[in-house]
């Protein structure tokens, strides 16, 4: 099955591929020079798909699995690549800022690549706390390869992030064996248990009346600080007024 998705103005597929790659060993997708391959689970079915750009459209080809609802996959792609967002106001705002105006040229067409799964988003931010990205991706791969669902296509294995119920049942020592710190393991298992017990969900957070309430709810969770909460609100919940609070890399770029 092949799905065609029109692309909006101010969109660059190559810039998005660069962001997805950046020479880091991400275990949840495979980037080629002109496409990206990814596995997800839809309605209980593992699906492997490949995304390419053909003229002004994204072409999504299902390589493995039975897709019964094409709209679900189309909506997932639109969310992942942030295709429904109008970037014109943002570009206009960049043009008014002398220090940031370069971004509209240097990163022209780059979109805010999303993470649809809230547990995956929070899990990834907990994994990445206070360590460099290279080691963070190593920990993520170890976690995913041990407990994530998988499928194989043409000799390549594709993974999805583990389900909360799976991680909730782990012992701290099992994550320590993968080089997680004790505290990081406790945080990850604790968040998984909240999801598994239906005490935390994406829908419940989005049902809150404003961003301040969402932030306050996230900050109640052990292991979730302002950086993690704002990252999740930006990348998964798609609330408008968030950047990774206190991000040292961001401060370094803006101050140089």
**Is 82 one of the annotated active-site residues of the chain?**
no
- Nearest alpha carbon to residue 152 among 67, 70, 72, 65: 65
What is the chain's pLDDT, residue by residue, as a tens digit (256 residues)? 899 999 999 999 999 999 999 888 999 999 999 999 999 999 999 999 999 999 999 999 999 999 999 999 999 999 999 999 999 999 999 999 998 899 999 999 999 999 999 999 999 999 999 899 999 999 999 999 999 999 999 999 999 999 999 999 999 999 999 999 999 999 999 999 999 999 999 999 999 999 999 999 999 999 999 989 999 999 999 987 766 666 656 556 556 6
Distance CA 219, CA 200 (A): 12
- Name 221's Cβ contacts closer than 8 Å, sequence gap at least 6: 122, 190, 191, 194, 200
Q: What is the pLDDT of residue 99?
A: 87
- Name 109's Cβ contacts closer than 8 Å, sequence gap at least 6: 10, 11, 12, 13, 14, 15, 16
**Out of 21, 75, 82, 247, which one is annotated catalytic?**
247
């Amino acid at each position: 099955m092949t799905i065609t998705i029109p692309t909006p103005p101010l969109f660059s597929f190559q810039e998005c591929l660069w962001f997805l790659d950046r020479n880091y060993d991400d275990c949840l997708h495979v980037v080629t020079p002109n496409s990206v391959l990814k596995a997800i689970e839809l309605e209980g079915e593992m699906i492997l798909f490949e995304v390419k750009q053909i003229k002004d459209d994204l072409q999504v080809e299902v390589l493995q699995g039975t897709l019964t609802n094409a709209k679900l996959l189309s909506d997932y792609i639109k969310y992942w690549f942030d295709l429904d967002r109008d970037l014109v106001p943002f570009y206009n705002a960049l043009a008014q800022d002398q220090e940031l105006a370069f971004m509209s040229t240097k990163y022209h067409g780059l979109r805010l690549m999303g993470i649809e799964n809230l547990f995956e988003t929070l899990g990834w931010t907990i994994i990445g706390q206070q360590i460099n990205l290279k080691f963070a991706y190593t920990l993520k791969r170890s976690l995913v390869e041990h407990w994530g669902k998988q499928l194989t296509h043409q000799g390549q294995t594709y993974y999805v992030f583990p389900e909360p119920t799976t991680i909730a049942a782990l012992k701290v020592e099992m994550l320590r064996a993968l080089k997680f710190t004790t505290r990081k393991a406790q945080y990850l298992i604790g968040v998984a248990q909240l999801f598994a017990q239906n005490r935390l969900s994406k829908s419940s957070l989005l049902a809150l009346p404003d961003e301040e309430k969402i932030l306050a709810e996230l900050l109640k969770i052990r292991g979730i600080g302002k950086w993690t909460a704002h990252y999740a609100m930006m990348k998964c919940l798609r609330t408008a007024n968030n950047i990774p609070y206190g991000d040292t890399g961001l401060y370094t770029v803006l101050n140089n």
